[in-house]
Chains A and B, each alone.
Chain A
Amino acid sequence: QSALTQPASVSGSPGQSITISCTGTSSDVGGYNFVSWYQQHPGKAPKLMIYDVTKRPSGVSNRFSGSKSGNTASLTISGLQAEDEADYYCSSYTSTSTPRVFGGGTKLTVL
Protein backbone atom coordinates (compact mmCIF):
# COMPACT_ATOMS: atom_id res chain seq x y z
CA GLN A 1 0.00 0.00 0.00
CA SER A 2 1.42 3.38 -1.08
CA ALA A 3 1.95 6.10 1.50
CA LEU A 4 0.15 8.71 -0.63
CA THR A 5 -3.28 8.03 -2.12
CA GLN A 6 -4.07 8.81 -5.75
CA PRO A 7 -7.03 7.77 -7.88
CA ALA A 8 -6.16 4.80 -10.07
CA SER A 9 -7.43 6.47 -13.21
CA VAL A 10 -8.84 9.67 -14.62
CA SER A 11 -9.95 10.58 -18.10
CA GLY A 12 -10.86 13.61 -20.14
CA SER A 13 -11.46 14.77 -23.67
CA PRO A 14 -9.04 16.93 -25.66
CA GLY A 15 -9.27 20.55 -24.59
CA GLN A 16 -10.81 19.75 -21.23
CA SER A 17 -9.19 20.11 -17.81
CA ILE A 18 -8.60 17.32 -15.32
CA THR A 19 -7.35 17.23 -11.74
CA ILE A 20 -5.46 14.41 -10.03
CA SER A 21 -5.47 14.36 -6.23
CA CYS A 22 -2.77 13.11 -3.90
CA THR A 23 -3.74 12.61 -0.27
CA GLY A 24 -1.28 12.15 2.55
CA THR A 25 -0.98 13.17 6.17
CA SER A 26 0.39 15.99 8.27
CA SER A 27 3.73 14.15 8.28
CA ASP A 28 4.14 14.54 4.55
CA VAL A 29 1.87 16.44 2.15
CA GLY A 30 0.19 18.53 4.84
CA GLY A 31 3.32 19.36 6.76
CA TYR A 32 5.68 20.52 4.03
CA ASN A 33 5.59 22.33 0.70
CA PHE A 34 7.72 19.62 -0.91
CA VAL A 35 5.20 17.87 -3.15
CA SER A 36 6.34 17.01 -6.66
CA TRP A 37 4.60 15.43 -9.64
CA TYR A 38 6.01 13.13 -12.33
CA GLN A 39 4.76 12.10 -15.75
CA GLN A 40 5.71 8.69 -17.10
CA HIS A 41 5.00 7.42 -20.59
CA PRO A 42 5.16 3.66 -21.23
CA GLY A 43 8.71 2.38 -21.36
CA LYS A 44 10.17 5.74 -20.39
CA ALA A 45 11.73 7.22 -17.28
CA PRO A 46 9.60 9.56 -15.16
CA LYS A 47 9.75 13.29 -15.90
CA LEU A 48 9.44 16.06 -13.32
CA MET A 49 6.38 18.23 -14.00
CA ILE A 50 5.80 20.16 -10.75
CA TYR A 51 7.91 20.67 -7.62
CA ASP A 52 7.50 22.57 -4.37
CA VAL A 53 3.72 22.10 -4.81
CA THR A 54 3.31 24.79 -7.47
CA LYS A 55 6.58 25.34 -9.38
CA ARG A 56 7.11 24.27 -12.97
CA PRO A 57 10.58 23.33 -14.23
CA SER A 58 11.83 25.09 -17.30
CA GLY A 59 10.37 23.52 -20.42
CA VAL A 60 7.20 22.15 -18.83
CA SER A 61 4.01 23.49 -20.38
CA ASN A 62 2.04 26.05 -18.37
CA ARG A 63 -0.98 23.80 -18.91
CA PHE A 64 0.33 21.90 -15.90
CA SER A 65 -0.26 23.44 -12.46
CA GLY A 66 -0.11 22.28 -8.86
CA SER A 67 -1.83 23.22 -5.64
CA LYS A 68 -2.35 22.01 -2.10
CA SER A 69 -5.03 22.21 0.55
CA GLY A 70 -4.46 20.60 3.90
CA ASN A 71 -3.21 17.03 3.44
CA THR A 72 -4.21 16.87 -0.25
CA ALA A 73 -2.16 18.07 -3.19
CA SER A 74 -3.52 18.33 -6.71
CA LEU A 75 -2.18 18.36 -10.25
CA THR A 76 -4.34 20.11 -12.84
CA ILE A 77 -3.83 19.72 -16.56
CA SER A 78 -5.73 22.21 -18.69
CA GLY A 79 -6.34 22.04 -22.43
CA LEU A 80 -5.80 18.28 -22.49
CA GLN A 81 -3.77 16.99 -25.40
CA ALA A 82 -3.26 13.46 -26.68
CA GLU A 83 0.38 13.49 -25.57
CA ASP A 84 -0.70 14.08 -21.97
CA GLU A 85 -1.92 10.48 -21.82
CA ALA A 86 0.49 8.87 -19.33
CA ASP A 87 0.86 7.75 -15.74
CA TYR A 88 1.25 10.48 -13.12
CA TYR A 89 2.84 10.10 -9.71
CA CYS A 90 2.96 12.45 -6.77
CA SER A 91 5.78 12.40 -4.24
CA SER A 92 6.42 14.19 -0.97
CA TYR A 93 9.08 14.69 1.61
CA THR A 94 8.09 13.01 4.85
CA SER A 95 9.31 13.46 8.39
CA THR A 96 9.30 9.72 9.05
CA SER A 97 12.42 7.53 8.89
CA THR A 98 11.96 7.16 5.12
CA PRO A 99 12.18 10.73 3.87
CA ARG A 100 10.49 10.35 0.49
CA VAL A 101 7.25 8.67 -0.51
CA PHE A 102 5.29 8.22 -3.72
CA GLY A 103 1.64 7.91 -4.51
CA GLY A 104 0.38 4.79 -6.21
CA GLY A 105 0.06 6.53 -9.57
CA THR A 106 -2.83 7.66 -11.75
CA LYS A 107 -3.39 6.60 -15.33
CA LEU A 108 -4.64 9.49 -17.42
CA THR A 109 -6.61 8.57 -20.52
CA VAL A 110 -7.33 11.21 -23.15
CA LEU A 111 -10.56 10.12 -24.79
Chain B
Amino acid sequence: EVQLVESGGVVVQPGGSLRLSCAASGFIFDDYTMHWVRQVPGKGLEWVSLISWDGDSTYYADSVKGRFTISRDNNKSSLYLQMNSLRPEDTAFYYCAKDIRDSGWYAGFDSWGQGTLVTVSS
Protein backbone atom coordinates (compact mmCIF):
# COMPACT_ATOMS: atom_id res chain seq x y z
CA GLU B 1 0.00 0.00 0.00
CA VAL B 2 1.32 3.42 -0.99
CA GLN B 3 1.84 5.74 1.96
CA LEU B 4 2.88 9.39 1.86
CA VAL B 5 3.40 11.17 5.17
CA GLU B 6 4.11 14.91 5.20
CA SER B 7 5.68 16.76 8.10
CA GLY B 8 7.17 20.13 8.93
CA GLY B 9 4.13 22.38 8.86
CA VAL B 10 4.21 25.06 11.56
CA VAL B 11 3.39 28.70 12.18
CA VAL B 12 6.09 30.95 10.70
CA GLN B 13 6.46 34.70 10.39
CA PRO B 14 6.30 36.50 7.03
CA GLY B 15 9.71 36.44 5.39
CA GLY B 16 10.65 33.27 7.21
CA SER B 17 11.72 29.87 5.91
CA LEU B 18 10.47 26.35 6.35
CA ARG B 19 11.29 22.90 5.03
CA LEU B 20 8.55 20.37 4.45
CA SER B 21 9.25 16.64 4.20
CA CYS B 22 7.30 13.75 2.74
CA ALA B 23 8.21 10.16 3.64
CA ALA B 24 7.14 7.64 1.01
CA SER B 25 6.63 3.89 1.24
CA GLY B 26 4.84 1.07 -0.54
CA PHE B 27 6.22 1.75 -4.01
CA ILE B 28 9.54 2.13 -5.82
CA PHE B 29 10.09 5.79 -4.97
CA ASP B 30 12.86 6.46 -7.45
CA ASP B 31 10.68 5.35 -10.37
CA TYR B 32 8.19 8.21 -10.02
CA THR B 33 7.88 11.94 -10.47
CA MET B 34 6.63 13.54 -7.24
CA HIS B 35 4.59 16.70 -6.71
CA TRP B 36 3.61 19.23 -4.07
CA VAL B 37 0.04 20.55 -4.19
CA ARG B 38 -1.37 23.08 -1.76
CA GLN B 39 -4.83 24.11 -0.62
CA VAL B 40 -5.80 27.23 1.27
CA PRO B 41 -8.33 26.10 3.91
CA GLY B 42 -11.78 26.22 2.36
CA LYS B 43 -10.41 26.93 -1.13
CA GLY B 44 -9.32 24.95 -4.19
CA LEU B 45 -6.25 22.93 -5.08
CA GLU B 46 -3.14 24.61 -6.48
CA TRP B 47 -0.27 22.69 -8.03
CA VAL B 48 3.02 23.95 -6.57
CA SER B 49 5.98 21.98 -7.91
CA LEU B 50 7.22 18.71 -9.36
CA ILE B 51 10.51 16.83 -9.48
CA SER B 52 11.37 14.03 -11.86
CA TRP B 53 12.38 10.58 -10.65
CA ASP B 54 16.08 11.43 -10.85
CA GLY B 55 15.82 15.02 -9.64
CA ASP B 56 17.09 16.39 -12.94
CA SER B 57 13.87 18.14 -13.89
CA THR B 58 11.97 20.52 -11.63
CA TYR B 59 9.05 22.85 -12.30
CA TYR B 60 7.29 25.46 -10.18
CA ALA B 61 4.07 27.43 -10.14
CA ASP B 62 4.64 31.09 -10.94
CA SER B 63 3.39 32.00 -7.45
CA VAL B 64 6.35 30.24 -5.78
CA LYS B 65 9.08 30.41 -8.42
CA GLY B 66 12.31 31.77 -7.01
CA ARG B 67 11.18 31.24 -3.40
CA PHE B 68 10.52 27.49 -3.14
CA THR B 69 12.88 24.64 -3.99
CA ILE B 70 11.81 21.04 -4.44
CA SER B 71 14.26 18.19 -3.88
CA ARG B 72 14.30 14.48 -3.19
CA ASP B 73 16.52 11.85 -1.59
CA ASN B 74 15.86 8.53 -3.31
CA ASN B 75 18.02 6.68 -0.80
CA LYS B 76 15.63 7.80 1.94
CA SER B 77 12.45 7.66 -0.20
CA SER B 78 11.81 11.25 0.79
CA LEU B 79 10.56 14.39 -0.90
CA TYR B 80 11.23 17.91 0.34
CA LEU B 81 10.04 21.46 -0.20
CA GLN B 82 12.28 24.31 0.97
CA MET B 83 10.13 27.40 1.36
CA ASN B 84 11.83 30.80 1.67
CA SER B 85 10.56 34.37 1.81
CA LEU B 86 7.21 33.10 3.00
CA ARG B 87 4.14 35.29 2.56
CA PRO B 88 0.74 35.22 4.26
CA GLU B 89 -0.76 33.96 0.98
CA ASP B 90 1.40 30.83 1.27
CA THR B 91 -0.76 29.74 4.21
CA ALA B 92 -2.23 26.40 3.15
CA PHE B 93 -2.29 22.67 3.59
CA TYR B 94 0.60 21.21 1.61
CA TYR B 95 0.14 17.75 0.11
CA CYS B 96 2.77 15.57 -1.47
CA ALA B 97 1.46 13.46 -4.31
CA LYS B 98 2.78 10.61 -6.43
CA ASP B 99 2.52 10.73 -10.20
CA ILE B 100 0.32 8.14 -11.86
CA ARG B 101 2.94 6.76 -14.23
CA ASP B 102 6.57 5.80 -13.85
CA SER B 103 7.53 7.98 -16.81
CA GLY B 104 7.07 11.70 -17.28
CA TRP B 105 4.69 13.94 -15.37
CA TYR B 106 1.73 14.15 -17.69
CA ALA B 107 -0.98 12.01 -16.15
CA GLY B 108 -1.76 13.37 -12.67
CA PHE B 109 -1.67 12.16 -9.09
CA ASP B 110 -2.75 8.74 -7.88
CA SER B 111 -1.72 8.90 -4.22
CA TRP B 112 -1.77 11.77 -1.77
CA GLY B 113 -0.52 12.33 1.75
CA GLN B 114 -2.75 13.64 4.50
CA GLY B 115 -1.30 17.15 4.22
CA THR B 116 0.62 19.41 6.58
CA LEU B 117 -0.56 22.91 7.50
CA VAL B 118 1.72 25.87 6.97
CA THR B 119 0.57 29.12 8.56
CA VAL B 120 2.39 32.34 7.70
CA SER B 121 1.45 34.97 10.23
CA SER B 122 3.02 37.50 12.55
Do A and B interact with each other, yes or no?
Answer: yes
Select B105's contact among A97, A100, A104, beta carbons within 8 Å. A100
Instruction: Give min CB distance, A99 to chain B, whole Å.
Output: 5
Which B residues lie within 8 Å of A48 (CB)?
Answer: 100, 108-111
> Which bucket holds chain A's interface residue count?
20 to 34
B100 touches A98 (CB 8 A): no
> Which bucket holds chain B's interface residue count?
20 to 34
Which A residues lie within 8 Å of B106 (CB)?
Answer: 32, 34, 93, 99
Expressed in whole angstroms, the Cα–Cα distance for A45 and B37 within the complex equals 11
When C-beta atoms are compared, the residue in chain B nearest to A100 turns out to be B47
Chain B residues 8 to 54 lying within 8 A of chain A, measured CB to CB, are: 35, 37, 44-47, 50
Query: How would you classify the secondary structure of chain B's contact residues: helix, strand, loop or mixed?
Result: strand
If the complex has contacts A38-B45, A45-B113, are A98 and B108 also in contact, measured as CB distance less than 8 A?
A: no
Q: Does B114 contact A (CB under 8 A)?
A: yes
Question: In the complex, how many residue pairs between chain A and chain B have their CB atoms under 8 Å apart?
Answer: 70
B59 touches A89 (CB 8 A): no
A46 touches B46 (CB 8 A): no
Select A98's contact among B45, B61, B95, B111, beta carbons within 8 Å. B61
A36 touches B112 (CB 8 A): no
B109 touches A98 (CB 8 A): no
Expressed in whole angstroms, the Cα–Cα distance for A3 and B90 within the complex equals 19
B112 touches A45 (CB 8 A): yes
Q: Does A65 contact B (CB under 8 A)?
A: no
Chain A residues 2 to 56 lying within 8 A of chain B, measured CB to CB, are: 2, 32, 34, 36, 38, 40, 45-48, 51-52
Which B residues lie within 8 Å of A104 (CB)?
Answer: 44
Select B114's contact among A38, A40, A45, A91, beta carbons within 8 Å. A45
A99 touches B44 (CB 8 A): no
Pairs A-B, 3 closest by C-beta atoms: A36-B108, A45-B112, A105-B44
Sample (28) of A-B pairs whose CB atoms are under 8 Å apart:
A2-B44, A34-B107, A36-B100, A36-B108, A36-B109, A45-B95, A45-B115, A46-B37, A46-B95, A48-B108, A48-B109, A89-B44, A89-B45, A91-B47, A91-B108, A91-B109, A93-B105, A93-B106, A98-B62, A99-B50, A99-B59, A100-B47, A101-B47, A102-B44, A103-B44, A104-B44, A105-B44, A105-B45
